[in-house]
Each structure stands twice: as C-alpha cells, then as structure tokens.
C-alpha cells in the first residue's frame, strides 16, 4: 500500500529530474527498448524495468494511468525508476497524462479516493514537466500518437514546449492523439474527435524524409501482438497493456534492427 508520503516523494523526485529535460529530447542510445501504453498494467511495467540492465534506455511513450487495475502502482513505480536512473528511463507524455482525461477515465478518482481531492494537484504538476517527443539516434521519432497535420518537418514543428496540466498547443494535441491509417495517403478526420487526424503513408514519408528521419515509433492503439508495422516499416505501433485482450510487447531498437519483445 503506497502512503501519501511515498506518493508525494515519488512525484517530487521525478519533477526534479524532469525539469532538466527539454520538451523535445534528442537521445543517443545504442540499444533502446520502447514501451507503449501501460494504462495501469503493473506487470508490464515490471517486465520492462526488469530488462533495464540490457538496454541503454527504456523509452515509455505515455498513457501510464486510466482504466487499468494498478494505476497508482504504475504511476509511482515509473516515477521512482525515472528519478533513480534519469538517463536510461525516459518518460514521454501520452494523451492520458492530463487532468481532463483523468477526470473522465479514472485516475483522478483513484488518487482522490486514496489521498483526498487535494492530492491531484501533485499529479498535475508532474504532467506539466513531461517531455512531448524524442528523436532516437537521429533516426527514430518517438511520440505517443504520431505526426500532426500542418507542419511537414521537425523544423517546422519547432519549438515544442512543455504543456500545462492539460494539452494546449494544437500540434502537441495532434502528436499525442493522431493515428496512422493505411487506407489514406495524406490526412483524414478521426473518429476520436475534432482537431484530431489520421495520417497516411505519403504524409508520414514526407515528414520523415523532410526531417532526415527513418521511422516513427508510436503507441496509442491496442494491436494484437503488441507491436505492429505500418506503411512498409515507416511507422510502428507499440502497445504494452495486457488489459486490452492483446499480447503486450515492447519494441527493441538497435541501429536499424527492430525486434518485438514480449512482456507477458
Ligand atoms: Mn493514447
């Protein structure tokens, strides 16, 4: 059982290291493991962190809480891991790392029930320090949702800034919410709502090549095997939460080689 003191300390120590990180990270790590949505799946978090010694970095793509059975445990243990090894544990922001989403999908209630309504402010202050995206080894774009409509390169997208307790910038909202779609070339509307889009192969190809990048690695959608390739390898989806009836996995990246790592 996590005490309020432990909860508060985990958040404060993570904030201290996250403050030193930019909104857009440039990572050089020979061997990396990328983890997708966790949504309160503590077993997947443990399975990933248990492999930390095998990697130069584990990059978490966001959506740590809401919906699953062990949200608080995932949240606290991930923050402890971040504070304990800030270089090797990278924690990006997902579309569920907002006050607004947590009110709708459960984490607000989890925190309020355990520690009282006043405690959620700590969570919100942590969200405001989470970086938005990363480029790994100058080749891979790592972000929760994908590319936005409008900017056609990283350069056009810059500068990206950290957000508040909710997402504020249209481009950042799209980067954390958009989905790939094999059936379109450029952009199309999304079932997720206004201001959110699906991106196609040509849009992805253009953005990557204009940015000097090779591949997009994102999360955000449950896929049967936990890892799914799109657009002939231009993009990958990684999903790591077992509570969606899928086989949770992570994606290992070493140079150009990519390998599915099961987390069951
Ligand atoms: Mn998501």
For ligand 1, an ion, list residues with CB under 5 A.
Answer: 63, 95, 220
Instruction: Kindly give the distance from the C-alpha atom of residue 40 to the centroid of ligand 1, in angstroms, as a whole number.
Output: 13
> What pLDDT, on a 0 to 100 scale, did the predictor assign at position 79?
98
pLDDT in tens, 109-118: 999 999 999 9
Q: Please report where in the chains the tokens 């997402």 appear, as a residue.
A: 167
Split at pLDDT 50, 70, 90, the class of 171 is very high
> What pLDDT, on a 0 to 100 scale, did the predictor assign at position 117?
93
> Which listed residue (39, 96, 144, 243) is catalytic?
96
Q: What is the CB neighbour count within 10 angstroms for residue 225?
A: 12
Calculated CA dihedral for residues 85, 140, 240, 98, nearest 10 degrees: 70
Catalytic, 103? Answer no
pLDDT in tens, 16-36: 999 999 999 999 999 999 999
In angstroms, the CA 209 to CA 203 distance is 10
- Model-wide pTM > 0.95: yes
Instruction: Kindly give the distance from the C-alpha atom of residue 173 to the centroid of ligand 1, in angstroms, as a whole number.
Output: 11
Instruction: Kindly give the distance from the C-alpha atom of residue 204 to the centroid of ligand 1, in angstroms, as a whole number.
Output: 19
Tell me the C-alpha to C-alpha distance, in Å, between residue 168 and each of 45, 100, 127, 162, 218.
28, 12, 13, 9, 20
């Amino acid at each position: 059982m996590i005490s309020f003191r432990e909860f508060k300390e985990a958040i404060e120590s993570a904030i201290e290291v996250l403050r030193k990180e930019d909104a857009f990270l440039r990572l050089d790590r020979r061997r990396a493991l990328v983890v997708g949505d966790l949504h309160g799946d503590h077993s997947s978090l443990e399975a990933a962190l248990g492999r930390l010694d095998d990697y130069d970095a584990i990059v978490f793509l966001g959506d740590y809480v809401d919906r699953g059975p062990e949200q608080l445990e995932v949240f606290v243990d991930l923050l402890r891991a971040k504070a304990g090894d800030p270089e090797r544990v990278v924690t990006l922001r997902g579309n569920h790392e907002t006050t607004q989403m947590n009110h709708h999908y459960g984490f607000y209630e989890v925190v309020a029930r355990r520690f009282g309504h006043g405690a959620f402010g700590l969570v919100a202050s942590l969200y405001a320090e989470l970086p938005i995206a990363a480029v790994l080894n100058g080749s891979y774009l790592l972000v929760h949702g994908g590319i936005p409509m409008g900017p056609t390169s990283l350069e056009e997208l810059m500068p990206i800034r950290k957000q508040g307790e909710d997402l504020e910038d249209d481009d950042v909202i799209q980067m954390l919410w958009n989905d790939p779609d094999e059936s379109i070339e450029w952009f199309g509307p999304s079932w997720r709502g206004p201001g959110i889009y699906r991106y196609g192969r040509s849009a992805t190809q253009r953005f990557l090549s204009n940015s000097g990048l090779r591949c997009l690695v994102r999360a955000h959608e449950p896929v049967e095997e936990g890892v799914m390739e799109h657009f002939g390898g231009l993009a990958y989806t990684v999903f790591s939460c077992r509570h969606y009836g899928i086989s949770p996995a992570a994606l290992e990246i070493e140079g150009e080689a990519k390998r599915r790592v099961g987390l069951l």
